[in-house]
Amino acid sequence: MRVLLVEDNQTLAEAVVERFRKDGHVIDHESDGNDADYILRHKEFDLILLDINLPGRSGFDILKSVRARDLDTPVLVLSARSEIDDRVIGLEIGADDYLTKPFDFRELLARCRVLARRKSGLAQNVFRAGNFTFDWNSKLASIDGKQVELRNKEVQLLELFLTRLDRVLTKEEIADKIYNFDGPPSLNAIEQTMTRLRKKLDGSPFLIKTIRGLGYIGHMDES
């Protein structure tokens, strides 16, 4: 899951970024409202964590701009404003959820996972297909009941394909989802990660096929 955090409290932002990266997510941080709005016009994210009181442009204005462009990216508002009127306004102009500060990181991550699953049409915490399972919360995959040891980037790649089954993804699209602004994408590294993941998932019905000249596609073999 690639996340954009828009938050001008540097201490809080650093804590959120650290926790999300520890949990295996790709996250970028922006503190200025105008800069965040510009980024959202040119980059696609799986989830937006949005503060309200921001320099340059308010979070509510950014949210209105996002929804005016018909973007359905889930938005979770993080705000010190706990009044019911502020929460109602945020939800009515397009926020998917609203969490007041201070908050528990476990609750924040749980809410984010729910929003990400809902966006992908996945209602369950565990993905199951034949002898293969993947737990979205623990990031653990298993084949025939035996855990598959996956590195961080392999998990991110697996999640990407599971949420986009039967859809062709180019290397550039993959890079955009599993690397943040601080880690420039390497197409060669993606190929290496892809090779390792394929080997580790051998024996499961989940296949990653190469579509020559186009990219890759995740597919469940039902034979």
Q: Please say if the pLDDT value at position 185 is more than 70.
A: no
Quote the percentage of the chain above a pLDDT of 90. 69
Selection from 77, 72, 39 nearest residue 56 by Cα = 39
3: helix, strand or coil = strand
Q: Quick one: pLDDT band at residue 99, thresholds 50, 70, 90?
A: very high
State CA 107 to chain mean position distance. 16
Pull the structure tokens for residue 101.
Answer: 């500060």
pTM exceeds cut of 0.85: no
Cα dihedral across residues 93, 96, 100, 102: positive or negative: negative
Mean pLDDT of the chain, nearest integer: 91
Instruction: Give the start-to-end residue ranges of the domains of the chain.
Output: 2-120, 126-220
Arithmetic mean of pLDDT, 121-129: 78
Listed in order, strand segments (DSSP E) in the chain are 2-6, 26-30, 47-51, 75-79, 97-100, 126-129, 132-135, 140-143, 146-148, 168-169, 206-211, 215-220
Q: Omega before 102 cis (within 30°)?
A: yes
Q: Which CATH class is domain 2-120?
A: alpha beta
CATH number of 126-220: 1.10.10.10
Quote the percentage of the chain above a pLDDT of 70. 97
Q: Please say if the pLDDT value at position 183 is more than 80.
A: no
* Cβ contact 44:73 at 8 Å: yes
Per-residue confidence (pLDDT) for residue 58, from 0 to 100: 95
Per-residue confidence (pLDDT) for residue 148, from 0 to 100: 95
